[in-house]
Chains A and B, each alone.
Chain A
């Protein structure tokens, strides 16, 4: 049985440069997170506190959203509400139209990927320049990000050098500082000429109406300072009640994502330029995006909305480590993705994703807000069965197995048939089966199956006079 995910996984597993890139980055991210979280005083208590903040906020999200809107408006920011991705795109295009915007510079935003914003903008005839280095590379190579924090971990330095040689004329064997300088130069004009800067937002602070950007490159800051209009897209679940709460989340986010105490640029945007400010946009527009979040909040999958998008779960997941982000074929990869994609969109397009896990729990162990991903995967799998996504052979197989399990004589009979079947199957010298039939053949692609015992332990025990 070869599902789409498994087929794509096979391609990824045979891609040597991808495998090399994944091993290199994964080791770095995981070790840095462990070191940074370990060096935080009371790191475990901080995680509990962070989780409590997320839980309490989501429990009263409507209040905090309205308070955020009021605070933001008091700052002079415009606040818009987008029910879904199409509305978000329409709102941003409208702002552009009303202000004669032609050129847009963009900071990295997974939410903008989720709602397909670039496509909507380009369809409206606008020019969009990605300014995060990784996203810029994605843009000029017509690729997709494969990680929520580090979009191009699937690319090697040599691939980027070849790309820049083609697009920017750098030498084919250019080193990283040379490549970075070339990108900086190419982006500089973009920043200075753009009429609009679009960013995402890591958090929105309810008390102060601020948009918070956590970045390590200066591009986010540049997008929110130089163009006359700044548009920030934010998922409705990213609200934080107070600055004190923000402080807690920033600590665990930086430590978990990149092993830092704080990212190089942690910016709070609290409205447009004041008369005394030398820099800053004339207009700030905040677009609050739902796109399935309210539905998720009302479901047993609400806990996935606690996520602060640190990427720790991706880095530690053995599935992600082996196959990389593109294998998921979804906006969000990894343990986050196999829950959040179906949580927001339903299982229809994503019914394979919750199966892409061994339920090992490494994600929950790494998550700064202790999200119980295995619990939600089990829930999604039960939903998938209920909604008819389970393949017929599996439904029948499980039903037969359960029927035999509650009729032990049938179970024993089944065992006898299985032993007979094993004698007929190709076997090793020690009696291990080399090829299992039908959908179970997946097992024997890389493993043998042990011989069933001639007599079960139960049978031995019954025979013995004890």
Chain B
């Protein structure tokens, strides 16, 4: 682990990673420290409020957002997040939540501007193209909030392409949504499952050993489908792949 010579960043763990996939957070820290970045993890993080927001529960979303903002307003510098959808919640939707609360609007605007998704931070901010990783035959599913909301395209692909000995295979219908959609997955389970099946069929058809994503929620949904079908969980988070897990 090289001594930090670069910036210090704040890790925005996300609730899913914190409680379901702590190893992904470890991997993010490992990769960032490997690029000379010091990582701080503010205590007491819970949830950014996206599930409430997407369901139309604005009061609850604001409650969670205020807490998030109080925690992160106490620090400075880039906030790095291993989830495209959570990053987009903070970067795009937080300011709008506080149009009527001047103090939180100010905090939200500043925090939003500091928030980056993990692959975006590595490639666009640190200008890193090669960050290690295990060789393998990968395909990449570009998750919806990451690409369409945050406009992040090509970053994970660049990082995967620079893994020595790795091969990146094209994913058929790559732009198609995996079908997670948050509460959509339980409100419209039949449609969500159909979308999931189509994505999984395409992942299998790609011939890859693993499908890489930048969103643990999509990963949970897709791996959940594979496990239910008695298959191994092929979907991995980018950070895990880069950290060689």
Contact = CB atoms under 8 A, between A and B. Distances in A.
Given A9-B188, A394-B55, A458 B45 contact: yes
- Residue with the highest number of chain A CB atoms closer than 10 Å, among B26, B49, B57, B149: B57
A383 B55 CA distance: 10
B58 interface: yes
Given A398-B60, A415-B19, A355 B194 contact: no
Contacts of B47: 401, 405, 411
By secondary structure, the B interface counts as helix
A358 B180 contact: yes
A445 to B, nearest CB: 5
Given A9-B191, A457-B13, A402 B64 contact: yes
B149 A361 contact: yes
Interface string B35-76: 000000101111101011111111011011011000000000
B187 A355 contact: yes
Interface string A358-382: 1111101100000000000010111
B228 A442 contact: no
B78 interface: no
A6 B227 contact: no
Contact of B22 (A319, A378, A440, A457): A457
A258 B188 CA distance: 30
Nearest to B232: A430
Contacts of A383: 56
Contacts of B64: 402, 405-406
A318 interface: yes
B225 A359 contact: no
Contact of B67 (A364, A365, A406, A452): A406
Interface of B: 13, 15, 17-22, 25-26, 41, 43-47, 49, 51-58, 60-61, 63-64, 66-67, 144-145, 148-149, 175-177, 179-198, 220-221, 223-225, 227-228
8 contacts: A6-B190, A357-B184, A398-B57, A401-B52, A402-B52, A443-B224, A446-B193, A461-B41
Given A442-B192, A447-B193, 5 more contacts: A318-B179, A323-B194, A355-B188, A381-B55, A447-B227
The 6 A-B residue pairs with the shortest CB-CB distance in the complex, in nearest-first order:
A358-B181, A381-B56, A447-B224, A442-B189, A360-B177, A446-B193
